């Protein structure tokens, strides 16, 4: 047995949800090279400004699967290479992927992680379960397990920063995602606000997500019109059959699809490949009698479980921006309309903002860059980058900071995320003589 496997097994024996199991360095790029990459990409028209050198890592961490069992997940972390500052965390949820090797941790730098990290954010992107190192069936659009993979990525990423020792996070957390990532954002924010007092959300950006599964998305999938990605429907059904023990594939699908679906969704094929084996009108792969039962029986189990995973009937507490394109052919914008209207009725009208992008921005794929840019620009307006050791918040390091730090130590103030960006020079969550020594070294 190799040393690496032994380390992972040992870590599993003494770890918990959100624990970092391992990390791997993948790639470095200087700010100059980042600038060249951005200037030769689709982002060139926006005039992106590369500020920091960046480093890319992949991580493996613990989370729970859809049955509550401890399992391994993976993700990608791109950091500014600047140890004198602490940065906000930017958690991003990616869109639908089926091919396991297409997960963020399996790939390298791209326009998004380059731009966000070089601008001064710790950019973290979970693969989700069933992708990356996880070999289970992806639990597609199941809110609880989706939220867990996002939240545990936050905890693991903070552990990663502390272990690495050259990058510090501050108390700001931005959460953004598009398509399935929009659903992931909505599920994570709901779970954090209801059950995680130790995580503070600065702003969230759920974009083009399928929040109204039992209404808008059901109407779409029951329709007799061609759909751009017919694989969405069996992806939903397979996930829900497994999670809720709804029966066999034969109970849902026409016989010609029963034998091929398990292999198609084994994690080795892309969505485009799978689409070639499916009808353009997704409902045509389903058993007619099952479809009739679904339509007519209000207690049809699959229908009830879709309602259970809706994300439209709660009250966001923190600032949230919802973006969606009106020409979205894959995830209709009514998903966001239903969610926003319910949020307002429930009392969230002062902290939730909703913007529809008109037809000129294009469909689901076309509107994505504009939604992401909107989210980035809003984040930039409130982003804080903290100079480590700047205890009096004047953006310089001098003897005044030492005096302030001594006062904090005498008062026995211990660190939490809201203070660690400034006085905790050695990033150990405790204020003591070692912070003073390091601060003096920085000043000298």
∠ CA 120-121-122, rounded to 5° = 135
Neighbours of 438 (CB within 10 A): 16
Choices 3.40.50.1820, 3.40.80.10, 3.50.50.60, 3.75.10.10: CATH for 3-212+314-382: 3.40.50.1820
Cβ partners under 8 Å of residue 276, min gap 6: none
Give 138-159 pLDDT, tens digit per residue: 999 999 999 999 999 999 999 9
Cα–Cα distance, 332 to 217 (Å, whole number): 8
Q: At what angle do helices 301-308 and 232-244 cross, to 10 degrees?
A: 100
SS3 155: helix
The pairing of strands 352-357 and 386-387 is unpaired
Contact criterion met (CB below 8 Å) for 276 and 269? no
Burial tier of 3 (Cβ tally within 10 Å: 0-12, 13-18, 19+): exposed
Contact criterion met (CB below 8 Å) for 280 and 227? yes
418 has pLDDT over 50: no
Break the chain into its structural domains and give their ranges: 3-212+314-382, 221-308, 389-443
Give 7-64 pLDDT, tens digit per residue: 445 444 555 789 999 999 999 999 999 999 999 987 766 778 999 999 999 999 999 9
187 has pLDDT over 90: yes
Give 97-131 pLDDT, tens digit per residue: 999 999 999 999 999 999 999 999 999 999 999 99
Q: Whole-prediction pTM value? A: 0.90
What's the whole-number mean pLDDT along residues 398-416?
A: 70
The span from the first CA to the last CA of the chain, in angstroms, equals: 49
268 has pLDDT over 90: yes
Domain 389-443 fold: Type 1 dockerin domain (1.10.1330)
Record the tokens describing residue 169, joined without a space. Answer: 């996070």
| CATH architecture of the domain formed by 221-308 | Orthogonal Bundle (1.10)
Q: At what angle do helices 399-410 and 433-443 cross, to 10 degrees?
A: 180
């Amino acid at each position: 047995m190799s040393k690496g496997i032994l380390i992972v097994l040992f870590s599993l024996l003494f770890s918990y949800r959100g624990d970092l199991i391992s990390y791997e360095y993948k790639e470095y790029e200087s700010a100059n090279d980042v600038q060249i990459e951005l200037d030769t990409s689709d982002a060139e028209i926006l005039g992106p400004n590369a500020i920091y050198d960046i480093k890319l890592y992949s991580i493996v961490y613990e989370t729970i699967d859809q049955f509550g069992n401890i399992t391994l997940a993976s993700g990608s972390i791109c950091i500014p290479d600047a140890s004198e500052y602490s940065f906000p965390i930017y958690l991003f949820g990616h869109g639908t992927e089926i091919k396991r090797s297409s997960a963020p941790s399996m790939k390298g730098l791209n326009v998004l992680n380059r731009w966000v990290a070089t601008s001064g954010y710790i950019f973290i992107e979970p693969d989700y379960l069933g992708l990356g190192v996880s070999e289970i069936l992806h639990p597609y659009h199941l809110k609880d397990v989706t939220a867990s993979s996002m939240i545990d990525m936050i905890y693991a990423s903070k552990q990663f920063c502390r272990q690495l020792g050259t990058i510090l996070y501050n108390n700001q957390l931005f959460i953004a995602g598009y398509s399935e990532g929009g659903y992931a954002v909505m599920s994570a924010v709901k779970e954090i606000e209801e059950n995680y007092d130790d995580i503070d959300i600065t702003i969230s950006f759920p974009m083009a997500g399928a929040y109204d599964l039992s209404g808008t998305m059901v109407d779409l999938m029951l329709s007799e019109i061609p759909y751009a990605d017919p694989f969405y429907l069996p992806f939903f059904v397979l996930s829900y059959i497994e999670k809720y023990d709804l029966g066999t594939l034969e109970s849902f699908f026409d016989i010609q699809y029963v034998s091929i679906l398990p292999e198609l969704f084994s994690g080795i094929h892309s969505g485009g490949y799978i689409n070639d084996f499916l009808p353009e009108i997704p409902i045509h792969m389903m058993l007619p009698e099952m479809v009739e039962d679904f339509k007519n029986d209000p207690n049809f189990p699959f229908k009830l479980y879709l309602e259970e995973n809706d994300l439209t009937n709660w009250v966001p507490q923190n600032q949230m921006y919802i973006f969606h394109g009106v020409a979205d052919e894959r995830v209709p914008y009514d998903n966001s309309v239903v969610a926003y209207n319910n949020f307002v009725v429930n009392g969230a009208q002062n902290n939730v903002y909703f913007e529809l992008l008109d037809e000129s921005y294009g469909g689901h794929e076309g509107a994505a860059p504009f939604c992401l840019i909107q989210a980035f620009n809003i984040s930039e307006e409130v982003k804080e980058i903290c100079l480590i050791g700047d205890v009096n918040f004047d953006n310089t390091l001098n003897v005044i900071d030492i005096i302030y730090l001594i006062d904090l130590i005498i008062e026995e103030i211990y660190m939490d995320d809201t203070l660690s960006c400034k006085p905790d020079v050695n990033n150990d969550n405790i204020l003591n003589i070692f912070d003073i020594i390091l601060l003096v070294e920085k000043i000298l």
